[in-house]
């Protein structure tokens, strides 16, 4: 059993309040008592919609349908059904919710596969709704809101494997029957939860229409959003309605007008420069439409990127949700499931059925059910610390504050690297010139940066950079070669200020705890 040591949050824990509904007010979110919110949450990916990469699976076992076929082939129909019952019991349990709340978060985003809560005729599946009901009760007990997220709509909304579409096509926009089922599904959800204040809002469609589909069916998406809004409001006048843009929720061209005053616009952000320029289009829409915005899914990166990106959102008053809470053998989630012995053979069997026999596979899947319990996972508090900027393990030099010259930095010499914090004048440069990537932030598995990806800043005496965090009385600051930089560190109201005492180069900051140890 792993010792679940918590990372101290960088803010006073603000448990959810269920006195009334979370709602939009003047381009911000407020709770039922009118208190402004800056949401900090985690996504419960894989529980109601399994995704192959979270199991270390590749082509042939990426969508829920494909993963289900693999388990049925390896275990047989009856044993596979028992496995999935155990999976839904063990993967997310009350202990997970208690730990999420204790870590300092205030909500969870629940990705839902329509096949789990709706049959082919549109009738509700009570076993699936029981999972949602159970989660709501746990979150009521531990003071977390729940965002309901339709991750896999009937027929599929993305044209990729992530939505469990039957043919890897966005058939929601191709077949009227799937559109009717989606409208019915949201009518049923709104009817069931219209009085439930633990439910924060309705995320209508996850990442609709990426890639070429964003151009083909953009008008059909806006028509569907309008229709869903009308149908939900006929049943539920109170809950927040959440709309995502096209192309992985990053293209907001469809948001030319507001469809509901009590709504929230959601973007996702992965593997890109954590700077204001990268979210400027979203900020423009917030200002133009007067609606709050939300970073509803992001993560799968290094501690350095997590620290910087999530400070970016908070500096602009944007609430966020980290993706995902747990998966198998990972450095990028808070909880890592330790793969059982033989799991590599299960993975190999996707392309080579002879890699493991059904008799050999059965105990491996049984061990996996036990391994996914949160008390048996490898707990990684440094991920939480990076997200919340509380005792972060490491801070990159390019993660200085986002409040501009005189507030977050003061540098005598200007400069920079193309497309990375280009709106600032801090002279970022490559630690080693040559073969430098256009985008150095694509560490999808949290790997260590290659030398060609390293960024540093040259400082003159008196130059300074501020980093927003808590829990650091002092810090060690190193140059591009890992040696101590010529700086002193001062505490500020927002964190620490790194001040050059002579010409020096800065690469990373290693904050300390209050005990002044590294």
pTM exceeds 0.75 for this model: yes
pLDDT band (50, 70, 90) for residue 56 = very high
- What is the spatial distance between Cα 178 and Cα 153, in angstroms, rounded to a whole number? 8
Please return the burial class of 207, using the count of CB atoms within 10 Å of its CB with bins 0-12, 13-18 and 19+.
Answer: buried
The answer, yes or no, to whether the previous bond of 324 is cis (omega within 30 of 0) is yes
pLDDT band (50, 70, 90) for residue 182 = very high
pLDDT over threshold 90, residue 269: yes
pLDDT over threshold 80, residue 251: yes
Over the stretch 143-171, which tens digit does the pLDDT of each residue have? 999 999 999 999 999 999 999 999 999 99
- What is the spatial distance between Cα 364 and Cα 367, in angstroms, rounded to a whole number? 5
pLDDT band (50, 70, 90) for residue 5 = very low
Mean pLDDT of 495-511: 96
Block residue for tokens 């400070």: 311
Could you tell me what percent of the chain has a pLDDT over 90?
92
> Which region among 113-127, 143-157, 480-494, 500-514 has the lowest average model confidence (pLDDT)?
500-514
Mean pLDDT of 181-196: 98
The pLDDT, as a whole number, for residue 474 is 83
C-alpha to C-alpha distances, 223 to 178, 217, 226, 258, 445, nearest whole angstrom: 14, 10, 5, 13, 37
Mean pLDDT of 113-128: 98
Mean pLDDT of 86-111: 98
> Which region among 109-123, 242-256, 481-495 has the lowest average model confidence (pLDDT)?
481-495
The pLDDT, as a whole number, for residue 66 is 97
The pLDDT, as a whole number, for residue 480 is 87
Residue burial 496-511, b: 16+ Cβ < 10 Å; e: rest: bbbbbeeebbbbbbeb
Could you tell me what percent of the chain has a pLDDT over 70?
96
Are the beta carbons of 503 and 427 closer than 8 angstroms? Answer: no
**What does the longest C-alpha to C-alpha distance in the chain come to?**
72
Over the stretch 197-229, which tens digit does the pLDDT of each residue have? 999 999 999 999 999 999 999 999 999 999 999
pLDDT over threshold 70, residue 367: yes
The pLDDT, as a whole number, for residue 513 is 58
C-alpha to C-alpha distances, 180 to 227, 241, 303, nearest whole angstrom: 11, 19, 43
The mean pLDDT value of the chain amounts to 95
pLDDT over threshold 70, residue 516: no
pLDDT band (50, 70, 90) for residue 472 = confident
The pLDDT, as a whole number, for residue 13 is 60
Mean pLDDT of 63-78: 98
Are the beta carbons of 90 and 134 closer than 8 angstroms? Answer: no
Over the stretch 383-392, which tens digit does the pLDDT of each residue have? 999 999 999 9
DSSP labels for 75-141? H-HHHHHHHHHHHHHHSS-HHHHHHHHHTT--EEEEEEEHHHHB-TTS-B-HHHHHHHHHHHHHHHH
Residue 6 DSSP one-character state: P
- What is the spatial distance between Cα 80 and Cα 73, in angstroms, rounded to a whole number? 9
Question: Roughly how many angstroms between the first and final C-alpha of the chain, as a whole number?
Answer: 27
- What is the spatial distance between Cα 114 and Cα 254, in angstroms, rounded to a whole number? 24
pLDDT band (50, 70, 90) for residue 512 = confident
């Amino acid at each position: 059993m792993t010792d679940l040591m918590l990372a101290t949050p960088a803010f006073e824990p603000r448990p959810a309040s269920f006195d009334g509904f979370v709602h939009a007010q003047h381009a911000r979110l407020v709770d039922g008592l009118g208190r402004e919110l800056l949401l900090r949450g985690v996504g419960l990916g894989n529980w109601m919609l399994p995704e192959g990469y979270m199991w270390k699976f590749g082509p042939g076992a990426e969508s829920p349908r494909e993963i289900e076929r693999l388990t049925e082939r390896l275990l047989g129909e009856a044993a596979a059904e028992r496995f999935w019952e155990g999976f839904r019991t063990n993967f997310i349990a009350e202990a997970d919710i208690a730990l999420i709340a204790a870590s300092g978060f205030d909500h969870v985003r629940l990705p839902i596969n329509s096949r789990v809560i709706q049959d082919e005729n549109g009738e509700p599946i009570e076993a699936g709704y029981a999972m949602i009901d159970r989660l709501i009760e746990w979150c009521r007990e531990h003071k977390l809101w729940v965002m309901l997220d339709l991750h896999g709509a009937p027929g599929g909304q993305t044209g990729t494997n992530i939505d469990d579409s039957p043919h890897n096509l966005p058939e929601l926009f191709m077949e009227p029957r799937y559109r009717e089922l989606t409208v019915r599904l949201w009518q049923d959800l709104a009817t069931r939860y219209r009085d439930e204040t633990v439910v924060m809002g309705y995320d209508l469609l996850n990442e609709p229409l990426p890639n070429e589909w964003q151009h083909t069916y953009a008008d059909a998406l806006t028509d569907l959003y309008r229709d869903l809004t009308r149908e939900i409001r006929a049943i539920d006048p109170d809950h927040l309605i959440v709309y995502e843009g096209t192309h992985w929720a990053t293209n907001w061209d469809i948001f030319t007008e507001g469809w509901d005053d009590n709504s929230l616009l959601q973007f996702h952000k992965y593997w890109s420069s954590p700077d204001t320029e990268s979210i400027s289009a979203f900020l423009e829409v917030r200002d133009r439409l007067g609606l709050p915005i939300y970073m509803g899914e992001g993560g799968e990166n290094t501690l350095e990127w997590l620290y910087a990106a999530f400070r970016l959102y908070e500096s602009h008053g944007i609430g966020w949700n980290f993706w995902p809470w747990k998966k198998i053998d990972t450095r990028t989630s808070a909880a890592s499931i330790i793969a059982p012995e033989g799991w590599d053979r299960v993975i190999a069997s996707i392309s080579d059925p002879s890699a493991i026999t059904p008799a050999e596979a059965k105990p491996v899947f049984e061990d996996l059910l036990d391994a996914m319990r949160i008390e048996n996972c490898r707990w990684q508090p440094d991920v939480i610390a990076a997200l919340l900027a509380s005792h972060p393990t490491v801070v990159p030099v390019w993660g200085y504050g986002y409040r501009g010259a005189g507030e977050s930095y003061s540098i005598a010499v200007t400069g920079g690297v193309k497309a990375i914090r280009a709106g600032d004048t801090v002279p970022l440069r490559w630690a080693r010139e040559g073969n430098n990537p256009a985008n150095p932030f694509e560490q999808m598995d949290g790997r260590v940066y290659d030398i060609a990806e390293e960024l540093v800043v040259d400082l003159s005496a008196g130059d300074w950079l501020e980093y927003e965090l808590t829990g650091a009385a002092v810090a060690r600051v190193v140059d591009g070669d890992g040696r101590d930089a010529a700086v002193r560190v001062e505490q500020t109201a927002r964190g620490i200020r790194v001040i050059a005492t002579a010409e020096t180069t800065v690469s990373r900051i290693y904050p300390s705890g209050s005990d002044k140890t590294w």
